[in-house]
Amino acid sequence: MQLEVGSILEGKVTGITKFGAFVELPDKKTGMVHISEVAATYVKEITDHVTEGQTVKVKVLSIGEDGKISLSIKKAQAPAPRQAAPRRPAFSGRPGDYEWQSSAPRSESFEDMMSRFKATSDEKISDLKRSLDSKHGGFGRKPRGNGPQQ
């Protein structure tokens, strides 16, 4: 059987190192799965994900001219269904805590978009001023002088 880049095979883990796992493929060939290709999440300890003697599905990433075979376990698995992230309010009232909204295509004119942007901006500025006023006692700044003026 000829190995081809992109093919998905089953193999047996024959060795584990700090940087990856060696997998024996059909025809007694051995390839290596780098630690970054073991799982879709961050892998600190490879032994948390694979064990020696375990049969795994791997995808052939590359075959070097020197015969080294690069493999991936995470790319051999079907992609996990994407879950929608929980919606957060766009602005919670704290400066710097603004989350950009998705830019879904809309059928409104440039003027409509600008007026909506201006209204939103004015609203945020007034919220910010109100927040700052409450922190400073709600009093305006008093002019500073060099003593009593007559």
70-107: pLDDT as tens digits = 999 988 887 666 666 565 555 555 666 556 666 666 67
- What contacts 24+ positions apart, CB below 8 Å, involve 49-52? 49/73, 50/13, 50/16, 50/21, 51/13, 51/16, 52/13, 52/14, 52/15, 52/16
Structure confidence at residue 145 (pLDDT): 60
Can you tell me the mean pLDDT for 40-64? 90
Chain mean position to CA 130: 35
pTM: 0.51
Q: Which domains does the chain have, with CATH numbers?
A: 8-72 (2.40.50.140), 88-139 (no CATH)
pLDDT exceeds cutoff 60 at 114: yes
Q: Where are the extended beta strands (E) located within the chain?
A: 8-16, 20-24, 30-34, 55-63, 69-72
Structure-model confidence comparison of residues 88 and 19, the more confident one: 19
Percent of the chain with pLDDT over 70: 70
